[in-house]
């Protein structure tokens, strides 16, 4: 969801002045956010929150992430940074969200806030970012910079350099009913059956098929209420809000910190049991499932293949472990290595996307089948979402368990399932229903 603004195109790179200073402990970041256009990245109560837009870079097409990486390097080189805290998320940072498909009509963006509040490892900070050159818009390596001419986001006063942001009271509670859109139950089952047939007939191992739910969020509704529900209900996930994309993802696409790269691959799913015994049985059944193990193996292989050119010592466990979430069990594998080529987190997100966990195997054939069987544009669902710092470090998740909110209040939620040769259409539909639960409960 973009801010209304009057924009113009000019040649050049926007020069930014950035200053990070320590703060007394900011225990909760969400209350400081704009109620309609929140900008946040948190996990277990730690992360960063943005207010306003100092710079907005927009990208489209098959090279969108590569263009973003080049534009970000140019932005960093032109910036003047004073960082008195020096921890991940301080200094110059940008929040980002990218479309899943090369042919998507959705805009991919990097957003540099005017103010960033952060909390990590018991330390809190504030970063203030302003333009030094008076340029409102810039074309940088294929990216289009767009400014919010009105200054900070609605609901926040202009912030003098000696003032601090103030928390905003939450709006009234609301409840939405999210209804099927694009594919109903019969339509999704038919799409899964078609995919299974094509997998058995052609050289295709896996394809991920998604479906949608939709609702309308009244203009006075406070989006931060959904963020609080997600952050409290799913503390081990990445809870995010970037340009109207709101969600809580369990899957780390890539994290880069001081030359170390890590990723977490999730593929293979079971619902949680109703009691301790049935919950244990569900986890054991997932670990023993040949179908889920095969699906997981494809996903791990795709990540390893993408990261090997950037790291000579990648390590992954021989067998996946079962990851417990409030509503699901997942098969999971953690991957770690040392970067050998100086790649940034955006460079690695570009190399990794789309993984087999959200597209399929082989990638090109799987994406082609997705376009054929899904009667909608995924937008930013299943694309990279996260943040990048001035040193190239950053944290990126796959945008799962999420919904996109547009300027009119239309809300579209997405969930998908990995389809392989022995997939059962009814079971795959049930899996998507489980995956919708975080968003349905947060907004409904």
Q: H-type helices in 234-386, by residue range?
A: 276-288, 290-307, 345-352, 363-373
DSSP 32: G
**Radius of gyration in angstroms for the set of CA atoms belonging to the chain, rounded to a whole number:** 21
Residue 78 three-state SS: helix
Predicted pLDDT at 241 = 98
| Closest C-alpha among 68, 73, 76, 119 to residue 96 | 68
Q: For residues 103 and 68, is the Cβ–Cβ distance under 8 A?
A: no
> What is the four-CA torsion angle of 218, 244, 152, 78, rounded to 10 degrees?
-170
354 Cβ contact partners less than 8 Å away, ≥ 6 residues apart: 100, 363, 367, 382, 383
Any idea which residues carry the catalytic annotation? 206, 251
> How far is residue 168 from each of residues 33, 35, 156, 222, measured CA to CA in Å?
7, 8, 8, 11
Structure tokens at 288: 């023993």
Q: Supply φ then ψ for residue 5, to 5 degrees.
A: -160, 160
Cβ-based neighbour number of residue 124 at 10 Å: 18
Residue 221 three-state SS: coil
CB burial class (10 A; 0-12, 13-18, 19+) of residue 16? buried
Predicted pLDDT at 145 = 52
Q: What is the helix (H) or strand (E) element at residue 25, kind and residue range? A: none
Predicted pLDDT at 123 = 92
pTM of the model: 0.89
Spatial separation of the C-alpha atoms in residues 142 and 275, rounded to whole Å? 54
Helices vs strands, H then E, count in the chain: 8, 25
Predicted pLDDT at 25 = 84
Spatial separation of the C-alpha atoms in residues 87 and 85, rounded to whole Å? 6
Predicted pLDDT at 363 = 92
Spatial separation of the C-alpha atoms in residues 31 and 55, rounded to whole Å? 23
Total length of the chain:
444
Sign of the CA dihedral with 359 first, then 364, 365, and 368 last: positive
Spatial separation of the C-alpha atoms in residues 395 and 388, rounded to whole Å? 7
Q: Supply φ then ψ for residue 296, to 5 degrees.
A: -70, -40
Q: What is the helix (H) or strand (E) element at residue 250, kind and residue range? A: none
Cβ-based neighbour number of residue 275 at 10 Å: 8
DSSP 343: -
Residue 236 three-state SS: coil
Spatial separation of the C-alpha atoms in residues 220 and 217, rounded to whole Å? 8
Q: What is the pLDDT along the chain (444 residues), one digit of tens a residue?
A: 333 332 223 336 889 999 999 998 888 999 999 999 999 999 999 999 999 999 999 999 999 999 999 999 999 999 999 999 999 999 999 999 999 999 999 999 999 999 999 999 989 999 999 998 654 443 344 555 544 433 444 334 334 445 788 999 999 999 999 999 989 999 999 999 999 999 999 889 999 999 999 999 998 899 999 999 999 999 999 999 999 999 999 999 999 998 999 999 888 888 888 889 988 999 999 989 888 888 888 888 889 999 999 998 999 888 899 988 888 888 999 999 999 888 999 999 999 999 988 999 999 999 999 999 999 999 999 999 999 999 999 999 999 999 999 999 999 999 999 999 999 999 999 999 999 999 999 998
């Amino acid at each position: 969801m973009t801010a209304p603004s009057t924009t113009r195109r000019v040649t050049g790179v926007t020069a930014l002045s950035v200053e990070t200073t320590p703060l007394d402990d900011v225990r909760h970041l969400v209350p400081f956010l704009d109620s309609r256009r929140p900008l946040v990245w948190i996990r277990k109560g730690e992360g960063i929150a943005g207010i306003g837009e100092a710079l907005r870079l927009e990208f489209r097409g098959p090279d969108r992430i590569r263009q973003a990486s080049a534009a970000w390097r140019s932005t960093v080189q032109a910036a003047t940074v004073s960082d008195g805290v020096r921890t991940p998320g301080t200094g110059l940072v940008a929040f980002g969200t990218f479309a899943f498909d090369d042919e998507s009509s959705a805009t991919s963006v990097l957003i540099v806030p005017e103010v960033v509040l952060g909390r990590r490892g018991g330390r809190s900070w504030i970063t203030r970012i302003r333009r030094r050159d008076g340029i409102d818009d810039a074309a940088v390596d294929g990216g289009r910079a767009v400014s919010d001419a009105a200054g900070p986001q609605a609901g926040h006063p202009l912030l003098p350099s000696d003032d601090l942001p103030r928390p905003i009271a939450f709006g009234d509670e609301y409840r939405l009913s999210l209804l099927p859109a694009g594919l109903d139950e019969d339509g999704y089952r038919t799409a899964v059956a078609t995919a299974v047939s094509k997998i058995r007939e052609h050289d295709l191992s896996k394809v991920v098929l998604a479906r949608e739910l939709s609702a309308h969020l009244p203009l006075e509704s406070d989006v931060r209420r959904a963020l609080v529900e997600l952050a409290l209900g799913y503390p081990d996930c990445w809870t995010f809000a970037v340009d109207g994309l709101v969600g809580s993802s369990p899957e780390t696409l890539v994290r880069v910190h001081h030359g170390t790269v890590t990723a977490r691959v999730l593929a293979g799913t079971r619902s949680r049991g109703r009691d301790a015994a049935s919950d244990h049985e569900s986890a054991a059944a997932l670990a023993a499932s040949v179908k889920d193990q095969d699906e997981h193996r494809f996903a791990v292989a795709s990540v390893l293949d993408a990261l090997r050119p950037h790291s000579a010592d990648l390590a992954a466990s021989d067998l996946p472990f079962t990851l417990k979430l409030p509503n699901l069990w997942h098969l999971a594998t953690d991957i770690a290595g040392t970067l050998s080529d100086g790649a940034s987190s955006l460079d690695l997100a570009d190399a990794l996307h789309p993984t087999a966990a959200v597209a399929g195997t082989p990638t090109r054939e799987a994406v082609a089948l997705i376009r054929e069987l899904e009667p909608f544009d995924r937008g930013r669902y299943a694309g990279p979402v996260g943040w990048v710092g001035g040193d190239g470090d950053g944290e990126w998740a796959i945008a799962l368990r999420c919904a996109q909110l547009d300027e009119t209040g239309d809300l579209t939620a997405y969930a998908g399932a990995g389809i392989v040769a022995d997939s059962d259409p009814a079971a795959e539909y049930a899996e998507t229903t489980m995956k919708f639960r975080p968003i349905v409960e947060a907004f409904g």
